[in-house]
Amino acid sequence: MRLTIVGGGGFRVPLVYRALASDEHATRVDELVLHDTDETRLQRVAAVLSDIAGEYARPPRVRLTTDLAGAVSGADFVFSAMRVGGLAGRVCDERAALDLGVLGQETTGAGGVCYGLRTIPVALELAETVRRVAPEAYVINFTNPAGMVTEAMSAVLGRRVIGICDSPVGLFKRVARLLGIPREQITFDYAGLNHLGWLHRAVVDGVDLLPGLLAEPDRLMQIEEGRLFGPQWLASLGTVPNEYLWYWYYTADAVASIEKAGVTRGEYLLEQQDRFYAGEGDAFARWERTRLDREETYMAEGRASTDAGERDDEDLDGGGYDKVALALMRAISADEGTELVLNVPNDGTLEAVDAEAIVEVPCTVGADGPRPVAVSQLLPHERGLVTTMKDVERTTIEAATSGSRSAALKALALHPLVDSVTHARQILDREMAALPELSRVLVRP
């Protein structure tokens, strides 16, 4: 099987490669094509891969290219993992908002809208290319904001695009650990949008074990979500939210914590990643050090704000970004019927949104792709956030596809975490001035 990664010079590509190299299944990937617009990044990542290859008996062959159609042609699966505007774009998204006292974050708040605006046209170009040269391929989309980007691509690819995220996997792993029960024995009743979902129940042998857990503050404090949200707040909600809900429930704390740190996540990573990509010698060791540092500092603003200390060792393996992707490919190619949380068309699963809306829910995945399983309906306040954000996502897609600056402003201003139309306008002005990737998209008033 052939897998193509678009954004193949990305830092997390070696994780995927390692997972592929250790895969012993009959349907394993034996050819990996890495596409990137930046040749140097491809070379740096390739050096890490060749170090990894030496440790495995049958590592996949690797081909590097900057030609998109050539990369996609003949692929069975395409991973989309690109970062339009690079980390410099992320820094701009964060700072443009933070300087106005508004949350500045990669996917949540104004940052997610801005990131989506410049990414959607490029994601659509990829979708068109896949439809043209590899119409049978599945596209697995990691590109953030993943829900919005998957929804945009689904207009071209229908069910051949599936969005994924490792956050729900991490959450399930931690809850399973807390319950002391293997993950496979628990049915996780989870629903929402990407980075906006809630765990409603954790069922074992027909019994929901979540209420018992929510009644035990000391135990909850043993996982990130307990420390981040506080056991009392979790008990009030009666759910365990995705970690990204911290930016919603604790917005002022998040802004204060990021300001106090002095550097944003994007600024931190820009420096860290530049050092990695510019470095010489022992590619694997430098990559591994950098990766560990990235994992250890993930969502540091949340931990600093809640005095949560360091991340748990068990959480440092990256939440399984690579493993979700591999599990999804295998479930399709070997018709395995695996259950995975994915971003797929709603199809009546959640009453809150229409059938075409991309939602993040558990699905059974076989040869004909994912099918959502029945889940609990959203609670009233969750429903409010989800319907509002679906509208923001669609307004962003409309702006990105029509080039309308006023639609872009509307998307920003309708976001509940952007506190004023004036701020929305200032953020957009600054982004337009700083990022050619955006001014190129919004060409109409």
Which residues contribute to the site for ligand G6P (CB under 6 A)? 144, 165-167, 265, 269, 294, 298, 319
Rounded to a whole number of angstroms, the minimum distance from the CB of residue 91 to ligand G6P is 12
Residue of closest CB approach to Mn ion: 165
CB-wise, 27 or 273, nearer to ligand G6P?
273
Q: How many residues bind Mn ion (CB under 5 A)?
A: 2
Residue 411 binds Mn ion, judged by CB under 5 A: no
Check whether the bond before 145 is cis (ω within 30° of 0). Answer: yes
Question: What's the CA gap between 181 and 362, in Å, rounded?
Answer: 19
Amino acid at 67: D
Question: What six digits make up the tokens of 231?
Answer: 């056991």
C-alpha dihedral sign at 338, 339, 343, 349? positive
User: Is residue 234 involved in binding Mn ion (CB under 5 A)?
Assistant: no
CB of 133 to ligand G6P, least distance (A): 28
Question: Residue 265 or residue 330: which is nearer to ligand G6P going by CB?
Answer: 265
- Decide whether 109 or 319 has the Cβ nearer to ligand G6P: 319
Site string for Mn ion, 153-192 (x = CB under 5 A): ------------x-x-------------------------
CB under 5 to 8 A by kind: which of Mn ion, ligand G6P, none does 265 bind?
Answer: ligand G6P
Please say which residue, 250 or 321, places its beta carbon nearer to ligand G6P.
321
Please give the helix or strand (H or E) that residue 291 lies within, else none.
helix 283-296
Give the residue with the Cβ less far from ligand G6P, 1 or 82. Answer: 82
Cβ of residue 194: shortest distance to ligand G6P, in angstroms? Answer: 8
Instruction: Name the residue nearer to Mn ion (CB basis): 195 or 410.
Output: 195
Distance spanning both ends of the chain, measured CA to CA: 46
E strand segments, 100-233: 138-141, 161-163, 187-193, 196-204, 207-208
Calpha distance 346→354 (Å, rounded): 7
8 Å CB contact between 378 and 198? yes
Q: Is 340 in the site for Mn ion (CB under 5 A)?
A: no
Taking CB within 5 to 8 Å according to partner kind, which of Mn ion, ligand G6P, none is near residue 378?
Answer: none
Query: How many CB atoms sit inside 10 A of residue 24's CB?
Result: 7
Cα 230–chain centre separation: 24
The residue nearest ligand G6P at its CB is 167
Is the distance from CB of 426 to CB of 419 less than 8 angstroms? no
Separation between Cα atoms, residue 112 and residue 149, nearest integer Å: 11
d(CA 301, CA 255): 9
Q: How far is the CB of 268 from ligand G6P (least distance, A)?
A: 9
- Among ligand G6P, Mn ion, none, residue 418 binds (CB under 5-8 Å by kind): none
Cα–Cα distance measured from residue 444 to residue 403, given in angstroms and rounded to the nearest whole number = 5
Partner from ligand G6P, Mn ion, none contacting 430, C-beta within 5 to 8 A by type? none
The entry of ligand G6P, Mn ion, none near residue 319 (CB within 5 to 8 angstroms by kind) is: ligand G6P
Q: Name which of 84 and 165 has its Cβ closer to ligand G6P.
A: 165
For the record, the structure tokens of 243 come out as 């970690």
From ligand G6P, Mn ion, none, interface partner of 294 (C-beta below 5 to 8 A by class): ligand G6P
Q: Which does 241 bind (CB under 5 to 8 A by kind): ligand G6P, Mn ion, none?
A: none
Please say whether the beta carbons of 358 and 52 come within 8 A.
Answer: no
CB of 244 to Mn ion, least distance (A): 8
C-alpha span between 361 and 366 (Å, rounded): 16
Identify which of 115, 13, 139, 9 has the alpha carbon closest to the alpha carbon of residue 64: 9
CB of 265 to ligand G6P, least distance (A): 5
Q: In which region does residue 359 sit, left (phi positive, over 0), alpha (psi from -120 to 50) or beta (all else)?
A: beta
Minimum Å gap between C-beta 294 and ligand G6P is: 5
Residues lying near Mn ion in the complex (CB under 5 A) are found at 165, 167
